[in-house]
Structure 1
Amino acid sequence: MDVKAPKALLKAQKLANLLDTAVKLPIIPVRVGLDSLVGIIPGAGDALMLLVSLRIVWLGKSLGMPKPLLAQMVKNAAIDFGLGFIPVVGDLVDIFYKANQKNVRIMERWWIGENKANVDAATRQALNDWNEQSKDS
């Protein structure tokens, strides 16, 4: 049995990494992404990043996530958007808030919860296969 994350979740993970952690800053051990960089542009940058963040929410909806979790994801994106309107301080806080990463963690926890039995069975099967190969060696 092979259990893999759905394409929508994998896309959301890649998008969140691009938006929140794609670039390592020199000197300080903090990673930033396009959200922090584009968000520096007053108004338009934050609005553009909100639209991209909502793509992650849409990917969650396409997986069939429950409405309360989707609402939490929208709230995270809205907080990130709102923080961006505070000059300088908002840009600094945006570096650490990482709403897109939070939203992907919500998606991951939900998906694992929904697929726990299959993931556990696949893990047991892989362990059994490994044990059998170890005996034959």
Structure 2
Amino acid sequence: MAGPYSAFIERPIAASASRAETLARLDALSRLLDTAFVVPGTRIRFGVDGLIGLVPGVGDLISAALSTYLIWEARRLGLPVWKIGRMVANVVFDTAIGAVPILGDAADVLFKANRRNMRIIREHLEQHGGMAEPGVIDAEYRVVEPSR
């Protein structure tokens, strides 16, 4: 379907940015959302997701919207539907527990859906050779001397 936005919507990941740049951007976003800050004197980390979730009503919806960007990019990176489903389930669970007043906000700090989703992306790309740049052949080789 060609339209004014089709080039933006359907462009492959290699045309917009390298996989390494995309992974770095997604990793930075997941860290910002889930582990950007530390509670002083503890090892408890939380992110913007936990802070936005404190806003009654719309806070968790805003956090879910930010989290769906990772899912959208994961699909563009070629993750299969069942892994995308796992990622969606993580975000839905995170949003659902965050909606519970007070206890949900505490649980939201402990359940880091974006870091989990980033791990799913990385594991998939490592298992399927997607960590290399497009056009780069990653293989073993040996030098064979010509016989005389």
Q: TM-score range by the shorter chain?
A: 0.7 to 0.9
> TM-score when scaled to structure 2?
0.74
Larger Rg: 2
Is there any run of 5+ residues in structure 2 with no aligned partner, and where? Answer: 1-17, 142-148
Amino-acid identity (%):
31
- Of 48, 69, 85, the match for 1:55: 69
Pairing 1:38–2:52 present: yes
Matched with 1:23 is 37
Q: TM-score, normalised on structure 1?
A: 0.80
Q: Deviations over 1:25-50 (max 9, x none)?
A: 11221111000011011121100000
Q: Give, as a single letter, the amino acid of the residue that structure 2 aligns with 1:29.
A: R
Say which SS state the counterpart of residue 56 (structure 2) adopts: coil
State whether residues 20 and 35 of structure 1, in contact with CA within 8 Å, keep that contact through their aligned partners in structure 2.
yes
Q: 2:105 aligns with which of 56, 81, 91?
A: 91
Q: Deviations over 1:86-105 (max 9, x none)?
A: 11110001111000000000
Cα distance in 1, alignment partners of residues 79 and 37 from structure 2: 30
Q: 2:125–2:131: 8 Å Cα contact kept in structure 1?
A: no
How many residues matched? 121
Unpaired runs of 5+ residues, structure 1, are 126-137
